[in-house]
């Protein structure tokens, strides 16, 4: 790309007339944001085309000037798509596009920046980028959810322990456990949709701070750019980064959910649990230990949540110190936003692939369900025979202790022991010690009963179908 302007004071600037000399190289270096914001170019071009159309419609540009600028912006779009890149002298993406537009069409380019500021421009471009990013992330999240539903479908008849305090608690269906990771992602998707809606308020037309001085039709702009509303206050519009905070919060919480999923699977994949085996394509080896099969993607899922959290905290820290209106501190917003979205965009496909390539060891899962996990069922059995729950809890507790002391499963205790613990125990008590019976009792909505889980799967499939 021709670059006649490189070298500090000669560079193409959108400002500078009021200064006798050029900025110090140290200032230019710290001020420059092109390395971060270059990726906004398709959106900056999109909003510039809409802006040019609006200026022409308002009579600020002649029809010919408007058409010439539209043509020039198309040329610039093609140039960048074909590989034109910023030079060291381009301050930010807006300056770059302005320079390329001048190089493409000459004088009429100078009329495009009428009535707008980079303040409303960057806010608009960032919002357009964010809405696009939320759409992409939603698709990636759906892929993860789809992998979960497919695994859940294969686990509808398989029992495993559910854990509280990481201690064996009660038996559940494998599908129930798998879907416990599905619903948090459904909420994450809703949060991202809400953040996208927050981003759907148009700042363009706010100018630098007080609103554009030209009679442009903001409703027309809104329609052209696909926003849902027009910002009601220009001071607020140029400083509002709530939508970024909302995206970063949604991604931080999503990071926490992926971390929890990752941790479950990492544990379940250890030799000690042995419930799952990680697929070859999503396992790494060790440079030293030939036997290793490491779940790196899941460990990174666990680890990278803290990065998104850091991005959120960085943004909130920036926003907290500011007066109203645009302040240059806000330039840092994109660093956090892009980092979190990039991180998630890498992570989600790797998590989806890791999930899809898992194989479950159903025998090991079943074998981990021990009879003491049916202690609650035994107590419930007594309650059905009109024993109070408090009394039942004590009676079953004694049986658990007896089995522990003898080093046997509760199923191996003689019936006499049950009768000593409570006279309400009948011969049918042994059926209550079966995990299959335990889950069958739990057909409450949202419970692990086989029919309830089938309904849950139906609902999950419905979520996937929803746009």
With CB under 6 A, what is the number of residues at the site for ligand ARG?
Answer: 10
Q: Is 244 in the site for ligand ARG (CB under 6 A)?
A: no
Q: Which of 60, 202, 225, 330 binds ligand ARG (CB under 6 A)?
A: 330
Q: Which of 154, 156, 294, 331 binds ligand ARG (CB under 6 A)?
A: 331
Q: Which of 51, 282, 326, 360 binds ligand ARG (CB under 6 A)?
A: 326
The interface region with ligand ARG, picked from 82-90, 116-124, 176-184, 298-306 by CB under 6 A, is 116-124
Between residues 37 and 158, which has the closer beta carbon with respect to ligand ARG?
A: 37
Q: Is 37 in the site for ligand ARG (CB under 6 A)?
A: yes
The interface region with ligand ARG, picked from 114-122, 138-146, 190-198, 351-359 by CB under 6 A, is 114-122
Q: Minimum Å distance from CB 187 to ligand ARG?
A: 31
Q: Which of 90, 92, 158, 264 binds ligand ARG (CB under 6 A)?
A: 92
Q: At what angle do helices 333-356 and 118-153 cross, to 10 degrees?
A: 10
The interface region with ligand ARG, picked from 260-268, 325-333, 406-414, 421-429 by CB under 6 A, is 325-333
Q: Is 40 in the site for ligand ARG (CB under 6 A)?
A: no
Phi-psi region of 334 (alpha: psi -120 to 50; beta: other; left: phi over 0): alpha
Between residues 268 and 326, which has the closer beta carbon with respect to ligand ARG?
A: 326
Q: Minimum Å distance from CB 346 to ligand ARG?
A: 24
Q: Minimum Å distance from CB 74 to ligand ARG?
A: 23
Q: Minimum Å distance from CB 238 to ligand ARG?
A: 9
Between residues 32 and 257, which has the closer beta carbon with respect to ligand ARG?
A: 32
Annotated catalytic residue, options 6, 286, 324, 345 = 286
Between residues 201 and 369, which has the closer beta carbon with respect to ligand ARG?
A: 201
Annotation marks residue 12 as catalytic:
no
Between residues 119 and 422, which has the closer beta carbon with respect to ligand ARG?
A: 119
Annotation marks residue 102 as catalytic:
no
Between residues 131 and 181, which has the closer beta carbon with respect to ligand ARG?
A: 131
Q: Which of residues 119-138 bind ligand ARG (CB under 6 A)?
A: 119, 122
The whole-angstrom separation of Cα 124 and Cα 440 is 55
Interface residues with ligand ARG (CB under 6 A) are 33, 37, 92, 118-119, 122, 326, 328, 330-331
| Catalytic machinery residues | 165, 286
């Amino acid at each position: 790309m021709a670059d006649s302007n490189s070298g500090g004071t000669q560079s193409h600037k959108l400002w500078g007339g009021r200064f006798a000399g050029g900025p110090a190289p140290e200032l230019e270096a710290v001020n420059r944001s092109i390395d971060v914001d270059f990726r906004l170019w398709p959106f900056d071009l999109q909003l510039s085309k809409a802006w040019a159309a609006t200026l022409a419609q308002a009579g600020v540009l002649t029809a010919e000037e408007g058409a010439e600028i539209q043509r020039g912006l198309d040329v610039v779009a093609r140039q960048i798509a074909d590989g034109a890149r910023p030079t060291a002298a381009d301050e930010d993406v807006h300056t770059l596009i302005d320079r390329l537009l001048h190089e493409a069409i000459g004088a009429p380019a100078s009329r495009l920046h009428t009535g707008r500021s980079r303040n409303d421009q960057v806010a608009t471009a960032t919002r357009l980028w964010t809405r696009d990013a939320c759409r992409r992330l939603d698709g990636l999240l759906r892929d993860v959810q789809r992998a979960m539903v497919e695994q859940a479908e294969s686990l509808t008849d398989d029992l495993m322990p559910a854990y509280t305090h990481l201690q064996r608690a009660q038996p559940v269906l494998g599908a129930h456990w798998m879907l416990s990771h599905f619903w948090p992602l459904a909420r994450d998707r809703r949060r991202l949709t809400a953040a996208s809606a927050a981003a759907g308020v148009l700042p363009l037309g706010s100018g630098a701070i007080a609103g554009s001085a030209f009679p442009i039709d903001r409703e027309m702009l809104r329609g052209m750019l696909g926003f849902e509303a027009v910002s009601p206050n220009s001071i607020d519009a140029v400083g509002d980064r709530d939508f970024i905070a909302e995206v970063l919060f949604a991604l931080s919480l999503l990071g926490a959910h992926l971390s929890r999923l990752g941790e479950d699977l990492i544990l379940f994949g250890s030799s000690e649990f042995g419930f799952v085996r990680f697929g070859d394509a999503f396992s790494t080896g060790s440079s030293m230990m030939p036997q290793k099969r490491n779940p790196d993607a899941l460990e990174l899922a666990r680890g990278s949540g803290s990065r998104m959290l850091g991005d959120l905290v960085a943004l909130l820290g920036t926003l907290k110190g500011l007066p109203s209106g645009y302040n240059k501190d806000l330039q840092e917003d994109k660093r956090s936003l892009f980092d979190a979205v990039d991180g998630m965009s890498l992570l989600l496909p790797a998590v989806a692939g890791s999930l899809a390539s898992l194989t479950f060891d159903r025998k090991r899962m079943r074998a981990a369900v021990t009879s003491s996990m049916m202690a609650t069922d035994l107590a419930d059995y007594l309650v059905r025979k009109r024993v109070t729950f408090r009394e039942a809890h004590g009676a079953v507790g004694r049986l658990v202790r007896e089995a522990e002391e003898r080093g046997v499963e509760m199923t191996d205790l003689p019936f006499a022991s049950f009768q000593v613990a409570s006279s309400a125990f009948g011969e049918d008590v042994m059926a209550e010690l079966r995990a299959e019976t335990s889950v069958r009792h739990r057909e409450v909505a949202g419970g692990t009963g086989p029919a309830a889980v089938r309904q849950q799967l139906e609902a999950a499939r419905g979520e996937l179908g929803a746009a």
